[in-house]
Amino acid sequence: MRNLIQLEFRKLFSRGVTYVGFIAIMLIVLIIQVGMFVEGQKLLDFLVKSMADVFMFEGNLINSYSVSYIIMNSLWIHIPILVAIVAGDMVSGEAGRGTFRLLLTRPVSRTKLLTAKFITAQVYTSMLVVFLMILSLGLGRLFWKPGDMMVIMNTINILDMNDIWWRFFVAFGYGVISMWVVAALAFLFSSMSTNSLLPIVSSMSVLILFTILSNFSLGIFEVIKPFLFTSYLSGWQLFFDNPVDWNQIFRATLVLLGHITAFYLLALQIFTRKDITT
Amino acid sequence: MEKILEVQHLSKVFGTVKAVQDVSFTVYKGDIYGFLGPNGSGKSTTIRMVLNLIKPDGGEVLLFGKRLRDDRHAVLSRIGALIERPDFYTYLSAFENLNILARYSGIRHQKERIMELLEIVHLADRAHDKVKTFSQGMKQRLGIAQTLLHDPDLIILDEPVNGLDPQGIKDMREMIIRLNSEMGKTLIVSSHILREMELISNRMIVISKGKVVVEGEVRKLLESEEQQLILMASDAAKALEVLRMAFPLLNFERNRLDEIHATLPATSIPLVNESLVKAGIGVKQLITRNNLEDFFLQNT
């Protein structure tokens, strides 16, 4: 299995498209950091305008942590696309290029081959999120000094700067799991297709549809919301709550892991029975 | 003779299309086994079922005496295959492609072996060039090299001369013959280019519309068929008269070029020549045509 995973990585990192995600993240983070550096105070003034009569703010609320938090918020929209581009091509790409004819006539088990591809897609996804973390926190330190962080959710949380680092680490950890679900979904569609574009478009369509359903507050949708993985993708924000609701995070993590397992098993069923006709 | 491949009553249906129906054949050690049929006849589907790329709806595939579905790993490690187009990772070099494929076959430390194979297929000087810069003929040769990586006993080539120029076809033909005669490999070669199959295969199967039309030794199959005779004699009119007298049951015709045409059993041809010589008629040219193409067209 280790040999198969190594081979998948060898193939993956020999292609230019693999680096597109990293370059895109770098550019987006850089643009946001520069933008915040230039116009950040205006944005903060706008955000706290309505609270100015009630609260008095002291110190620098625009700091490396708050900017990283803003980046996290904005990038969870873009990262799924970058993940789907690679995960959606893992199986369908080989089918489309005809290279499965070369691979599957060798003494390689289909289950092992698919599992190696799945693991590679998930490791790549993790690398993207870790890269995002390093850039957003690391670059943030270049532009800004650290400071206390204000998080506006249902309540306003002011987090002490000494109580933030661990929250970012676990939030990014949760972010990895939530992106694994997106990768697993794109991978599932990839196992059904011989065209790389279809899995990307399909997984994005499902993601958009489910996100809309997850955010609708109508009774009929309330019933299905707990079963939609999109209801839990933004669960990383829970780590910035005070106190942290560990039970809710645990439940959300279980649902996400359940989806990953289900998508993988379904992809396995499809791939092991699939006729290679391309 | 040792059976290398035994296909028993193989069937496959795609939707409502019966792609392969009750196909059975046997390939023996040392064969160059021709797999013939027009486009869409079910050749590739049958070959893909033999290689486990397509799951059969019915029937059994026995390779080296073992059932494919029971012992896939052991069986496939003794087979090298090139199915239709040689599609490689075009963004990798020839060497890297073979290196990756060797590792999929469980072979490590294969650098020397890969270079040796690239030498055999005359690609050693392009070993580190990306495959996307290769011509179709070079890709086909690289395709042959990848079939040999793990030194298989059986090599399956599906349409190996497709898209090749005449020189490429000649090179491929010679390579197939070398693999068989010098390296002792058993080969199954599918093609719809009949002339090639006639030149290289010792046994063959013809399938049409998913069904077996005929199977057996090429020589015997051709011998059993009637031959087309084209004859040019020193005196065409007299020759025609002699032949009609000698063979009253056969139909001899003379055309405007003074050629005499007839369709007759292979065994009659020496007798035709003998009759003319005895009658003092010079035989300037005697051509018999019974090639695989005629056979194929008659049977599909």
Residue of A nearest to B147 (CA): A102
- Rounded to an integer, what distance in angstroms lies between the CA atom of residue B296 and that of residue B52? 28
Are B105 and A103 in contact (CB < 8 Å)?
no
Answer positive or negative: Cα dihedral of B34, B37, B38, B43.
Answer: negative
Separation in Å, CA B211 to CA B36, B48, B57, B208, B295: 11, 16, 15, 5, 16
Give the distance from residue A7's alpha carbon to the nearest chain B alpha carbon, in angstroms: 7
List of chain B residues whose C-beta atoms are within 8 Å of the C-beta of residue A17: none
Whether the ipTM is more than 0.85: the answer is: no
> Are B6 and B195 a contacting pair, CB within 8 Å?
no
CB-nearest to A105 from B76, B90, B106 is B76
CB-nearest to A277 from B54, B101, B150 is B54
> Are A79 and A183 a contacting pair, CB within 8 Å?
no
A26-79 pLDDT, tens digit per residue, is 888 888 888 877 777 777 777 667 666 666 666 667 777 877 888 887 667 788
Query: DSSP of B271-299, one letter per residue?
Result: HHHHHHHHTT--EEEEEEE--HHHHHHHH
Q: Return the residue in B48, B53, B68, B92 with the most chain A beta carbons within 10 A, the one to mutate for interface testing.
A: B53
Residue B32: φ, ψ to 5°? -110, 105
CB-nearest to B53 from A7, A97, A101 is A101
Are A277 and B52 in contact (CB < 8 Å)?
no
A201-237 per-residue burial string, b: 16 or more CB within 10 A, e: under 16: ebbbebbeebbebbeeeeeeeeeebeebbbbbbbbbe
CB-nearest to A3 from B81, B83, B103 is B103
Stated as kind and residue range, the H or E segment containing B205 is: strand B203-208
A130's tokens? 């870790």
Separation in Å, CA A94 to CA A51, A194, A222, A276: 55, 8, 40, 11
Are B88 and A109 in contact (CB < 8 Å)?
no
Which residues on adjacent β-strands are paired with residue B25?
B7
Residues 6+ apart with CB under 8 A from A9: A120, A123
Give the distance from residue A112's alpha carbon to the nearest chain B alpha carbon, in angstroms: 11
| Residue B192 C-alpha from the chain's centroid | 8
Task: Show the beta-strand stretches assigned E in A156-195.
Answer: 156-159
Are A14 and B92 in contact (CB < 8 Å)?
yes
Look at residue A112 in the predicted model and tell me its pLDDT.
Answer: 92
B174-216 pLDDT, tens digit per residue, is 888 888 888 888 999 888 767 677 778 888 888 888 888 878 8
Interface of A with B (CB under 8 A): 3-4, 6-7, 10-11, 14-16, 97-109, 273, 275-277
Give the distance from residue B43's alpha carbon to the nearest chain A alpha carbon, in angstroms: 13
Residue A56: φ, ψ to 5°? -115, 120
- Rg over alpha carbons for chain A, rounded to the nearest Å, is 21
Segment among A131-140, A148-157, B4-13, B272-281 with least mean pLDDT: A148-157
Answer positive or negative: Cα dihedral of A111, A116, A121, A126.
Answer: positive
Q: How confident is the model at residue B293 (pLDDT cuts 50, 70, 90)?
A: low
List of chain A residues whose C-beta atoms are within 8 Å of the C-beta of residue B81: 101, 105
Residue of B nearest to A94 (CA): B89
- Which of A244-249's residues contact partners 24+ apart within 8 Å by CB, and which partners? A244/A167, A249/A174
- Rounded to an integer, what distance in angstroms lies between the CA atom of residue A159 and that of residue A149? 5
Q: What is the mean pLDDT of residues B132-148?
A: 86
List of chain B residues whose C-beta atoms are within 8 Å of the C-beta of residue A9: none
Look at residue A259 in the predicted model and tell me its pLDDT.
Answer: 93
Which residues on adjacent β-strands are paired with residue B3?
B28
Segment among A109-118, B128-137, B156-165 with least mean pLDDT: B156-165
CB-nearest to B104 from A7, A14, A277 is A7
List of chain B residues whose C-beta atoms are within 8 Å of the C-beta of residue A107: 72-74, 76-77, 105-106
A199-215 pLDDT, tens digit per residue, is 999 998 888 888 888 87
Segment among A11-15, B22-26, B212-216 with least mean pLDDT: B212-216
> Are B187 and B147 a contacting pair, CB within 8 Å?
no
pTM: 0.80
